[in-house]
């Protein structure tokens, strides 16, 4: 249930409603919009509070039942787009941000060269995994903390903030020490202990859609993070598994407008994992921007042929530079900028 306050409701009236919600044993989440305040009543779904308890209070305009299982993530609760700060830009605003870098951090030269190249091409942030979720236990698992240290060095050298994956709740404090954005990978989208830990950390999160998850499941996963008062959540469409085999995954372009309609959270698209093949990445990236994505996360490697993970879908720095150039023109056509 959400309580929509009238445009001229006073701070005292808002506080009184919040106090009443807490007295009744629920949590109150205040969303202060430009025009009015909206208060979410959050708690056990089986006990729905009587709307009359609030409708007669001063300053209350109306009570709305939220029909979806996700509440804090819903547009009803937060009608305006959420803006998440990243490197001086606001993700979810007019600018389309570009997070770029290798799938994995492999060594010092690789990450520093790639970071410099993506910076020069106009990237907003640097990606690179130090803890890698690999299908095979025999595949390269990432450099761990040493990789995080190299990412910090790359940030120092380029000024680009770092996006890197965290796979277990116990490692959130360590990864958060180095990362500007904690990536939750597709395979961990429903790792609830991890979602709780990232929520508690109050760190910006990039939550990737599970390869076999519905959009509603993605929004429910985001709700876990939001329920800790951590409002810095970026959703990521990275392709889903279908019967098609000519691409690694099937890019669910629908997810972009659908999520933008249902949630206020920014939506990032990952054309690299969505296609799995370098030759299709640019087309999928352009489609994502045209469909309204707030940002892209793209794998770029200084020598893709030697990559220890996801080389086939990694762009060379030259290909990435050309793509950013093309995307700038496209962004303008859809009233965005890059
Ligand atoms: C990645 O970003 O390198 C990655 C492992 O992505 P996903 O979790 O979407 O498979
Ligand atoms: Mn990858």
224 lies in the same domain as 93: yes
94 lies in the same domain as 243: yes
State the pairing for strand pair 27-32/37-42.
antiparallel
Mutate to test the pocket of ligand 1, among 141, 162, 208, 209 (most ligand atoms within 8 A of CB): 208
Task: Check which CATH number belongs to the domain holding 114 and give it.
Answer: 3.20.20.70
Answer yes or no: is 27 within a domain. yes
- Cα 280 to ligand 1 centre (Å): 17
- Cα 16 to ligand 1 centre (Å): 45
What whole-number distance in Å separates Cα of residue 63 and Cα of residue 9? 14
Q: What angle do CA 67, 70, 71 make, to 5 degrees?
A: 80
Answer yes or no: is 142 within a domain. yes
Question: What is the predicted pLDDT for the residue at 226?
Answer: 96
Number of separate domains in the chain: 2
Residues with CB under 5 A from ligand 2 (ion): 103, 310
Question: What is the predicted pLDDT for the residue at 46?
Answer: 67
Answer yes or no: is 78 within a domain. no
Kindly identify the ligand whose nearest atom is closest to the C-alpha of 248. Answer: 1
Range of the domain at 228: 84-333
Helical spans, DSSP H, in 26-179: 52-55, 108-121, 145-158, 172-178
Kindly identify the ligand whose nearest atom is closest to the C-alpha of 167. Answer: 1
- Cα 305 to ligand 1 centre (Å): 19
Answer yes or no: is 76 within a domain. no
Percent pLDDT > 90 in the chain is: 91
Q: Is the pLDDT of residue 66 over 90?
A: no
- Note the residue count of the chain: 338
What whole-number distance in Å separates Cα of residue 69 and Cα of residue 72? 10
Question: What is the predicted pLDDT for the residue at 50?
Answer: 83
40 lies in the same domain as 131: no
Residues with CB under 6 A from ligand 1: 103, 129, 133, 185-187, 208, 238, 273
- The pTM assigned to this predicted structure is 0.95
Q: Say if residues 232 and 204 touch (Cβ distance below 8 Å).
A: yes
- Cα 208 to ligand 2 centre (Å): 12
169 lies in the same domain as 292: yes
- The pLDDT tens digits of the residues spanning 74-109 come to 999 999 999 999 989 999 999 999 999 999 999 999
Q: Is the pLDDT of residue 242 over 80?
A: yes
Question: Which has more pLDDT, 172 or 27?
Answer: 172
50 lies in the same domain as 147: no
Kindly identify the ligand whose nearest atom is closest to the C-alpha of 297. Answer: 1
Other beta carbons less than 10 A from residue 329's beta carbon? 10
22 lies in the same domain as 133: no
56 lies in the same domain as 91: no
Question: Closest residue (by CA) to atom 10 of ligand 1?
Answer: 186
Q: Say if residues 2 and 75 touch (Cβ distance below 8 Å).
A: no
273 lies in the same domain as 140: yes
240 lies in the same domain as 199: yes
């Amino acid at each position: 249930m959400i309580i929509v306050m009238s445009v001229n409701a006073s701070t005292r009236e808002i506080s009184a409603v919040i106090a009443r919600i807490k007295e009744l044993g629920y949590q109150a989440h205040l969303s202060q919009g430009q025009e009015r305040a909206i208060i979410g009543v959050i708690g056990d779904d089986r006990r729905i509070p009587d709307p009359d308890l609030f409708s007669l209070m001063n300053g209350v305009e109306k009570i709305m039942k939220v029909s979806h299982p996700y509440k804090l993530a819903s547009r009803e609760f937060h009608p305006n787009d959420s803006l998440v700060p990243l490197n001086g830009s606001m993700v979810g605003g007019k600018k389309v941000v570009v997070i770029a870098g290798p799938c994995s951090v492999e060594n010092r030269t690789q990450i520093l060269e790639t970071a410099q190249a993506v910076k020069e091409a106009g990237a907003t942030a640097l990606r690179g995994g130090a803890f890698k979720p690999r299908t095979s236990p025999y595949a390269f698992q990432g450099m761990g903390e040493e990789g995080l240290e190299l990412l910090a060095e790359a940030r120092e050298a380029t000024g680009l903030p770092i996006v890197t994956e965290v796979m277990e709740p116990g490692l959130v404090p360590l990864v958060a020490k180095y990362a500007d954005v904690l990536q939750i990978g597709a395979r961990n989208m429903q790792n609830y202990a991890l979602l709780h830990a990232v929520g508690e950390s109050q760190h910006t999160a990039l939550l990737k859609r599970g390869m076999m998850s519905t959009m509603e499941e993605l929004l429910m996963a985001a709700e876990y993070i939001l329920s800790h008062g951590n409002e810095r959540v970026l959703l990521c469409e990275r392709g889903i598994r279908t019967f098609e085999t000519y691409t690694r995954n099937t890019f669910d372009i629908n997810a972009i407008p659908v999520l933008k309609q249902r949630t206020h959270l920014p939506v990032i698209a990952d054309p690299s994992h969505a296609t799995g093949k370098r030759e299709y990445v640019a087309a999928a990236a352009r489609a994502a921007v045209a469909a309204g994505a707030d940002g892209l996360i793209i794998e770029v490697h200084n020598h893709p042929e030697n990559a220890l993970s996801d080389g086939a879908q990694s762009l060379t720095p030259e290909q990435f530079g050309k793509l950013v150039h093309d995307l700038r023109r496209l962004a303008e056509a859809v009233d965005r900028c890059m």
